[in-house]
Amino acid sequence: MAKGRVVNDIRTLRFLAGEMTQAELGEKIGLTRQTVAAIEQGKYSPSLEAAFRIAQIFGKPLEEVFRWEE
Amino acid sequence: MAKGRVVNDIRTLRFLAGEMTQAELGEKIGLTRQTVAAIEQGKYSPSLEAAFRIAQIFGKPLEEVFRWEE
DNA sequence: ACGTGATGTTATGTATATATAACATTGAGT
DNA sequence: ACTCAATGTTATATATACATAACATCACGT
């Protein structure tokens, strides 16, 4: 799997969701706070399952949370 | 990561795309035919990158190709 | 009947996502 | 100044996605 990367708006969405913490988000979807932090910072991109769950928490379609940049 | 699974319409989309073969799809996105087959059959769900690429090939938004079933 | 392309499948290895634990830093409140 | 919650970060381990190679089956055309 080559070129292109996934970016996300998790930080902003947490902020808009009343300062939801990384740990809180992690609890809701079954990920640790360290994993949430890494995903949020783009150190690696989440599994499709994790991406769906995160989007669901914020009540947004997946493609409004994660975007593919060529 | 627990409950719920990802389902997809790849088989149908390949058919609609003029009988595109698993190997052809694999070439276009940089996956092997075996991996395409496994994803298509739901043996495991793709990475977010792979999901974005596959959706892009079929000219569909990701959520029309992959769905989250609780 | 034969050959061939598409798919299924399985085994083994590598890369990457995620968990866990530990420690550091930063910022807000008191 | 002190505490404490939130976040950053790093090391090590496990789970899962993906590659590669090999072999089997199944349909289709000839």
Per-residue pLDDT of chain A (70 residues; tens, 9 = 90+): 666 889 999 999 999 999 999 999 999 999 999 999 999 999 999 999 999 999 999 999 999 999 999 8
The DSSP element (H or E) to which A68 belongs, if any, is strand A66-69
* Torsion angle (degrees, nearest 10) of CA B43, A9, B1, A46: 50
Q: Is the Cβ of B56 closer than 8 Å to some Cβ of chain A?
A: yes
Write the CB contacts of A12 (distance below 8 Å, at least 6 apart in sequence): none
pLDDT at A32: 98
| Amino acid in the structure at residue A20 | M
CB-strand contact B34/C, under 7 Å: yes
More confident site: B1 or B18:
B18
pLDDT tens digit string along B4-54?
899 999 999 999 999 999 999 999 999 999 999 999 999 999 999 999 999
* Count of pairs with CB atoms under 8 A, one residue in A, one in B: 58
Higher pLDDT, A6 or B3: A6
Give residues 17 to 46 of B whose Cβ lies within 8 Å of A. Answer: 30-31, 45-46
pTM: 0.94
- Residue B60 binned pLDDT confidence (cut-offs 50, 70, 90): very high
Q: Where are the domains of chain B?
A: 9-60
Q: Strand C: which bases are under 7 Å from protein Cβ? A: 5-11, 16-22
Give the Cα separation of B35 and B39 in Å (integer).
Answer: 6
pLDDT of amino acid A4: 81
Provide CATH code, domain A9-60: 1.10.260
Using a 7 A cutoff on CB, list residues near strand D.
A 1, 14, 21-23, 33-34, 37-38, 40-41, 47; B 26, 30-32, 34-35, 38-39, 44-47, 49-50
Binning pLDDT at 50, 70 and 90, where does residue B2 land?
A: low
In this prediction, residue B4 carries a pLDDT of: 82
Rg (CA), chain B: 11
